[in-house]
């Protein structure tokens, strides 16, 4: 026997009372299983779950895609065994959030992602993750989480697709500004299936295209309308001036009360400095997404809810312009929006869905 082989043999044997005892190798134990994957929960980049006795880690935002999935969102961390980590939100016992329910300030709810939120201001059932103005994260101890779930910063529309959608856009409307604005409303284009997410993005961008002539106009072109957007009956008045609240940005935000509400929701001084909307691309995009996510306008629901609940693209038009275009008000304008929406969903590879008209 060679010296090397003899050393290996000796390392595997122990002399105990004159007997040769073989020490068996100890198999590596499997990692403990993380919390079980839930179809209704929202998972962010870095979140870990277990499914069929294997652990997985999310590479980006996902919902309703069971590991290992088909899109590559889940990284397989290997087999697992034993106990599971406690679900997010701890052991709080508060009711599930219900869309459309009136929540006074101080209400605590459990959202669909398993986390808890406390209402900072009265609201008519807004999604807890759409704005920190209405809701704040909440833990059983009453203290906000030290590290809120991170967003991925991604968008279901690529920069190449965005440039193709808006070939003549004003350089002010940057793709990076749009992506930066996503952090203000994590549920925007990240709710529901991959198809629904792309339909919502197409619906938003189709309406934006119509409102701005293809992202060409930053401000309202009819300057004669400018003095009309000051509602002096509001308690805060029009501190920036009678004619300061004209249409700006992708959704053409106008009126002092809209600037005030958007500013409060976004933590920006838009009532006193409405010019931020025409000077900062990220702010401009945020105001458009704010309206899309939180305002019914002349309709009966937000444009976001219209797309994620299946009410259809037609209801987004109603939320923006109501009877001015809908119910036969201006069928040509409606058709313009619908045609652009159909074009955009085609570019994103998803069907347009039902209820295109209002």
The answer to whether residue 248 sits within a structural domain is yes
Judged against a pLDDT cut of 90, whether residue 245 lies above it is answered with yes
Q: What pLDDT, on a 0 to 100 scale, did the predictor assign at position 281?
A: 92
315 in active site:
no
pTM: 0.60
Mark whether 123 and 241 lie in a shared domain: no
Q: Which two tokens stand for residue 173?
A: 């409307």
Q: What pLDDT, on a 0 to 100 scale, did the predictor assign at position 126?
A: 73
Rounded distance between C-alpha atoms, residue 128 and residue 310, angstroms: 20
Q: What pLDDT, on a 0 to 100 scale, did the predictor assign at position 335?
A: 96
69 falls in which pLDDT band (50, 70, 90)?
confident
More confident call, 309 vs 140: 309
The answer to whether residue 223 sits within a structural domain is yes
Q: What pLDDT, on a 0 to 100 scale, did the predictor assign at position 349?
A: 85
Q: Average the pLDDT over 279-287 and give the result.
A: 94
* DSSP code for 136: E
Among 113-117, 121-125, 287-291, the range of highest mean pLDDT: 287-291
Instruction: Please pick, among 65, 136, 200, 211, the residue that the annotation labels catalytic.
Output: 211
Count: domains in the chain:
3
Mark whether 234 and 285 lie in a shared domain: yes
State the chain's mean pLDDT as an integer: 81
The answer to whether residue 158 sits within a structural domain is no
The answer to whether residue 134 sits within a structural domain is yes
What percentage of the chain exceeds 90 in pLDDT? 51
Residue 209: how many CB atoms within 10 A of its CB?
A: 22
More confident call, 85 vs 65: 65
The candidate with the shortest Cα–Cα distance to 289, out of 200, 352, 171, is 200
Mark whether 96 and 128 lie in a shared domain: yes
Judged against a pLDDT cut of 50, whether residue 145 lies above it is answered with no
Dmax over CA atoms of the chain, in Å, equals: 106
Q: Average the pLDDT over 208-225 and give the result.
A: 95
The candidate with the shortest Cα–Cα distance to 215, out of 311, 24, 344, 89, is 344
More confident call, 50 vs 210: 210
Mark whether 285 and 340 lie in a shared domain: yes
The answer to whether residue 268 sits within a structural domain is yes
Backbone Cα Rg of the chain: 27
The CATH code of the domain that includes 69 is 2.10.10.20
What percentage of the chain exceeds 70 in pLDDT? 79
The answer to whether residue 276 sits within a structural domain is yes
Judged against a pLDDT cut of 70, whether residue 188 lies above it is answered with yes
The answer to whether residue 46 sits within a structural domain is yes
- Pick the range with the lowest mean pLDDT from 123-132, 140-149, 192-201: 140-149
Domain boundary at 81, 104, 135, which? Answer: 81
Mark whether 219 and 336 lie in a shared domain: yes
Q: Which domain holds residue 58?
A: 40-81
The CATH code of the domain that includes 281 is 1.10.530.10
34 falls in which pLDDT band (50, 70, 90)?
confident
Mark whether 221 and 279 lie in a shared domain: yes
Mark whether 267 and 336 lie in a shared domain: yes
Mark whether 322 and 223 lie in a shared domain: yes
More confident call, 202 vs 148: 202
Q: What pLDDT, on a 0 to 100 scale, did the predictor assign at position 35?
A: 80
Judged against a pLDDT cut of 50, whether residue 89 lies above it is answered with no
Mark whether 216 and 342 lie in a shared domain: yes
Judged against a pLDDT cut of 90, whether residue 352 lies above it is answered with yes
Mark whether 137 and 218 lie in a shared domain: no
Beta strands 74-84 and 54-58, pairing class: antiparallel
Angle, vertex CA 44, rays to CA 290 and CA 177, nearest 5: 40
Judged against a pLDDT cut of 50, whether residue 84 lies above it is answered with no
Q: What pLDDT, on a 0 to 100 scale, did the predictor assign at position 250?
A: 96
Mark whether 143 and 222 lie in a shared domain: no
Q: What pLDDT, on a 0 to 100 scale, did the predictor assign at position 94?
A: 82
Mark whether 56 and 145 lie in a shared domain: no
What's the start-to-end Cα distance of the chain, in Å? 89
The answer to whether residue 183 sits within a structural domain is no
Place of tokens 């037609």: 314
More confident call, 298 vs 104: 298
């Amino acid at each position: 026997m060679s010296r090397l082989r003899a050393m290996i043999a000796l390392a595997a044997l122990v002399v105990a009372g004159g007997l040769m005892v073989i020490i068996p190798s100890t198999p590596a134990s499997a990692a403990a299983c993380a919390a079980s994957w839930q179809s209704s929960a929202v998972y962010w980049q870095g979140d870990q779950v277990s499914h069929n006795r294997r652990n997985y880690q999310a590479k980006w935002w996902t919902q309703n895609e069971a590991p290992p999935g088909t899109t590559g969102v889940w990284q397989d961390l290997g087999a697992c065994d034993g106990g599971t980590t406690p679900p997010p939100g701890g052991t709080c016992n508060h009711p599930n959030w219900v869309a459309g329910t009136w929540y006074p300030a101080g209400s605590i709810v459990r959202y669909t992602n398993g986390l808890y939120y406390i209402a900072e201001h009265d609201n008519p059932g807004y999604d807890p993750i759409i704005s920190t103005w209405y809701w704040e994260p909440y833990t059983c101890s009453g203290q906000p989480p030290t590290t809120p779930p991170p967003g991925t910063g991604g968008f279901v529309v690529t920069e190449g697709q965005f440039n193709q959608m808006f070939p003549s856009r004003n350089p002010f409307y940057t793709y990076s500004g749009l992506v930066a604005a996503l952090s203000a409303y994590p549920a925007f284009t990240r709710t529901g299936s991959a198809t629904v997410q792309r339909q919502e993005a197409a619906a938003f961008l189709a309406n934006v295209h119509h409102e701005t002539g293809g992202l060409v106009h930053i401000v309202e072109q009819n300057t004669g309308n400018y003095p009309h957007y000051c509602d002096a009956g509001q308690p805060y008045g029009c501190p920036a001036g009678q004619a300061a609240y004209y249409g700006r940005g992708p959704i053409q935000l106008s009126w002092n009360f809209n600037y005030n509400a958007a500013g409060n929701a976004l933590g920006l001084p838009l009532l006193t400095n409405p010019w931020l909307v025409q000077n900062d691309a990220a702010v401009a995009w945020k105001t458009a997404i704010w309206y899309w996510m939180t305002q019914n306008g002349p309709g009966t629901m937000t444009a976001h809810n219209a797309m994620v609940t299946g009410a259809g693209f037609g209801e987004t038009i109603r939320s923006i312009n109501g009877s001015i275009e809908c119910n036969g008000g201006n069928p040509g304008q409606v058709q313009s929006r619908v045609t652009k929406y159909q074009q955009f969903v085609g570019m994103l590879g998803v069907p347009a869905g039902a209820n295109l008209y209002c």
